Amino acid sequence: MKIKRSKAIAYNYLKDIKYKERETGYLYYHGLRVANLSLNLANMLGDLSNNTKERMYIAAIFHDVAKGREPHNLTGAIKTKNLLKQVLSQQEINEIARLIYYHNRRGNDNLHLETKILQDADIIDHTGTLDVWLGMHYVVDEDLSPKQALKFFLGGSWHQMVVQQRAKLNFPLSKRVYDKRVYYAEKFFKKMAWEMKGKL
């Protein structure tokens, strides 16, 4: 029930928000995907109670609620406290706000397991088919030709970003999932380059 009500609040708040070149409502759907990824990672990694998973799931939905109003982790934690005050206890809200605050503050070995899981899910959601999707949004917004887009994706810049993001992941499991998704995206861009040459 808490998750259902939290999703409804997030949807109503984020459904009409447009962030950069991404589609309207992107922040809600990104949050929902990150929530599901977090839960799947948590179930595979183990060691989290159902209550902790529930709070992590809700935090994931709201983790980018203030994206564009930097520092969005702090602004988002404060905003989420206000949005959820009618749904959750103060203790639950504080724990969710803590997760949101730390979702992009990597490099601290003292972070809770659920925070590290949320961090990894956030990175993973930007790879694979969704990397292609976001890349196409960017290309259209910047009015780039397919050739210019491929120069970015296959010319080294994209690969450098992929390596940097992978280094931020906390768990071997996350790295395996990430690598599979990157492989798919790279295969797509290579196929695009092949077809742009008029090859059969």
User: Tens digits of per-residue pLDDT, 145-187?
Assistant: 888 888 888 887 889 999 999 999 999 999 999 999 999 999 9
Rounded distance between C-alpha atoms, residue 113 and residue 43, angstroms: 12
Instruction: Using pLDDT thresholds of 50, 70 and 90, give the confidence band for residue 139.
Output: confident
Instruction: Using pLDDT thresholds of 50, 70 and 90, give the confidence band for residue 109.
Output: confident
Can you tell me the mean pLDDT for 4-11?
A: 94
Instruction: Using pLDDT thresholds of 50, 70 and 90, give the confidence band for residue 80.
Output: very high
Give the pLDDT score at 45.
Answer: 94
- Going from N- to C-terminal start, the domains of the chain cover 2-108, 129-196
Q: Which helix (H) or strand (E) holds 112?
A: none
Q: In the chain, what is the straight-line distance between the N-terminal and C-terminal CA atoms, in Å?
A: 53
Tell me: pLDDT of 108 over 80: no
Q: What is the tally of helices (H) and strands (E) in the chain? A: 10, 0
The CATH code that applies to domain 2-108 is 1.10.472
Confidence (pTM): 0.93
Rounded distance between C-alpha atoms, residue 198 and residue 123, angstroms: 34
Q: Do the beta carbons of residue 100 and residue 80 sit within 8 Å?
A: yes
Buried b (16+ CB within 10 A) or exposed e, 99-114: bbbbbbebeeeebebb
pLDDT tens digits, one per residue of 8-45: 999 999 999 888 878 888 999 999 999 999 999 999 99
Query: What would the two tokens of residue 34 be?
Result: 């990150």
Rounded distance between C-alpha atoms, residue 105 and residue 36, angstroms: 21
The backbone region for 49, taken as left when phi is positive above 0, alpha when psi lies in -120 to 50, beta otherwise, is beta
Q: Mean pLDDT, the chain, as a whole number? A: 93
DSSP string covering 11-52, please? HHHHTT---TTSPTTHHHHHHHHHHHHHHHHHHHH----HHH
